[in-house]
Amino acid sequence: MDTELTPRQTFFNLPPDKQQRVLEAAVQEFSERGYQQASINTIVSRLNIAKGSIYQYFDSKKSLFLFIFNQGIAMVRQMLKQVKKESQGEDFFTRVRKSLMAGVEFIDKHPALYRVYLRILFERDSPLREDFLQTIRLFSREYILSLLEEGQARGEVRKDLDPVLAVFILDAVLDKFLQNYALPYLDPALELNEKKGLEEKIDSIVTMLRQGFAAADGI
């Protein structure tokens, strides 16, 4: 229970490229099998190192996992911060569109890392799972909320929307879109595995959210 949550010094003494190889192999395994089913044996075997070695780097499977996941959270956080900064002053719906596209880009860069997140979402026994999810949820919601409030202040967004529910809808659509992008088999009809037409689909989705589903006169 009182395992260290950070790698051991030995890990940091490793040549940087070996550090990276180790982390990549672990991310790969966690993304393929989830936390519980991920096998230390498989990881070390793929790395061609002895089993004992990985326990020189990390105290436990849990500690290895936590280090990876924390790194991932930090990366997402930084990414959102940058999108927000770069789009400052732009229209609300443009910012939503850009946030979605940034998410797509993130998954392109770190597909396995994103799949680890998807795994943990519904795996009851990942360590500190609820803490992690609340952390992610919290800053994801707060990010969207801040965009929304700026949009309302600028008069681009209806002011009578319940912020919690509006954020819920946006978050749901964004999150599901990225899930489908990462795992295209979830909804083959969307054809999100095809790069072509991706931006147009994002545009359409944001437009629908903007103007709603109800028929205006004569449409």
Partner DNA sequence: TTTTAATATGACCACCTGGTCATATTATGG
Partner DNA sequence: CCATAATATGACCAGGTGGTCATATTAAAA
Task: Give yes or no for residue 173 binding its own copies (CB under 8 A).
Answer: yes
* Cβ-proximal residues to 88 (8 Å cutoff; 6+ apart), any chain: none
- Residue 185: name its binding partner from its own copies, DNA, none (Cβ under 5 to 8 Å by kind): its own copies
Task: Give yes or no for residue 189 binding its own copies (CB under 8 A).
Answer: yes
Binding site for DNA (CB under 7 A): 9-10, 13-14, 38-42, 49-53, 55-57, 59-62
Minimum CB–partner distance for residue 32 and DNA (Å): 12
| Eight-class DSSP state of 68 | H
CB atoms < 10 A from the CB of 119, how many?
19
Minimum CB–partner distance for residue 36 and DNA (Å): 8
Please report, to the nearest 10 degrees, the dihedral formed by the alpha carbons of residues 85, 89, 91, 93 taken in order. Answer: 20
Pick between residue 4 and residue 187 the one whose CB is nearest to its own copies. Answer: 187
Between 198-211 and 92-109, two packed helices, what is the crossing angle to 10 degrees? 140
Binding site for its own copies (CB under 8 A): 32-34, 36-37, 92-93, 118-119, 121-125, 130, 133-134, 137, 141, 152, 155-162, 164-166, 168-169, 171-173, 175-177, 180, 185-190, 201, 204-205, 208-216, 219
